[in-house]
Amino acid sequence: MQIEFAALTHPGRVRKNNEDAYLLSALDGEEPILNEPERGLEVGPAGFLAAVADGMGGAAAGEIASREGLAAMNLHLFLHWARFAAADSPERRLVHVLIGAVKTASQAVLRYADDDRTSRGMGSTLTTVLLWRRWAYVGQVGDSRAYLLRRNELIQVTVDQTLVHDLVESGAITAEEARTHPQRNMITQALGSPQPLRVPMSRVELKRGDKLLICSDGLHGEVEDDKIRELMALEEPPHRILERLVEAAIAHGGRDNITGILLSLEDPLLPLALPAGPVAIERVLDNFSEAPTDEIKVVGRLKRLLGGGA
């Protein structure tokens, strides 16, 4: 699959530290791009991983949480998925492993906080997109978001895990009131929480010309969806569109760290979107049962060979 991509993070106008992080990975065992300048990545049978994390916590704990979570997720996917991925790999295995990778990321953040008292209470959001075959698999924890632009229509793929979203869903407040609600940044799930995570997982069939934006609330909280749609629709390279989005967030206040990844899919092998075709966002099964016994045994042997625990 041919993918043009760009990633950018900015501390904003108010915060001294940048607790956001992004990750791009071909899941091939090579070092992923983790808050570094982009470089060429070849998309192989395991797919292409992109993720944004928004950390929180005292001192530098938020910066650690976002990066630790992303690194742990990438390693889990390499060990449990990429090593065995093939053209005929079952989708169920991918979904199971991706959910497991998000939970592993949460456990990594929690372990770090337990080992370092100064990091107690650290946590992070996580929005992750794995492109495989002709599909995007999207996992969500917290309030970072994934958007899809198709034929100039902007669709929010993820659902915010926030108190104000729950209030809107219950009819207690309106969507307009939610944008300025004093508790609009209070999330109901985070990496590093001692409570069990529920990881909503969605999939979207990709079409030629699609653009995917993954971003922290420092971007979508400052820039209205209409403006995001307008900028994403520009016929410009992904890095320039992303620069414009970050500039817009800063111009609207830049009160939080701002991070985004933009993926542009112009692969001629992808089917064209129908002029008036609906966009189907499918909620796939989450919280799968344990992995098949044969997979656990194989991965256990692999980890021991690499010097890890059983």
Confidence of residue 58 (pLDDT cuts 50, 70, 90): low
Q: Three-state SS string across 60-94, please? A: CHHHHHHHHHHHHHHHHHHHHHHCCCCCCCCHHHH
The overall average pLDDT reported for the chain is: 88
Statement: residue 88 has pLDDT above 60: yes
Closest CA to 183 of 166, 199, 158, 200: 166
* Domains annotated on the chain, with CATH: 4-305 (3.60.40.10)
SS3 category, 279 = coil
Q: Kind and range of the H or E element at 116?
A: none
128-132, 233-237, 265-269, 275-279: which has the minimum mean pLDDT? 275-279
Q: Which whole-number Å values give the CA distances from 133 to 28, 50, 126, 136, in the listed order?
A: 16, 15, 23, 8
Interval 195-214: pLDDT, tens: 999 999 999 999 999 999 99
11-15, 49-53, 117-121, 157-161: which has the minimum mean pLDDT? 117-121
Confidence of residue 76 (pLDDT cuts 50, 70, 90): very high
Share of the chain above pLDDT 70, in %: 91
Per-residue pLDDT at 46: 94
List CB contacts of 216: < 8 A, sequence separation 6 or more: 20, 52, 53, 54, 125, 144, 256, 257, 258, 259, 260
State the angle between helix axes of 61-77 and 91-115 in degrees (0 to 180), rounded to the nearest 10.
150
Amino acid of residue 32: P
Average pLDDT over residues 175-192: 83
Judge contact between 171 and 246, C-beta under 8 A.
Answer: no
Label residues 187-216 b or e (16+ Cβ within 10 Å = b).
bbbbbbbeeebebbbbbbbbbebbbbbbbb
Statement: residue 155 has pLDDT above 70: yes
24-33, 58-67, 224-233, 258-267: which has the minimum mean pLDDT? 58-67
Per-residue pLDDT at 278: 79
Confidence of residue 168 (pLDDT cuts 50, 70, 90): confident
pTM, entire model: 0.89
Residue 251 DSSP one-character state = H
Residue 166 or residue 140, greater confidence: 140
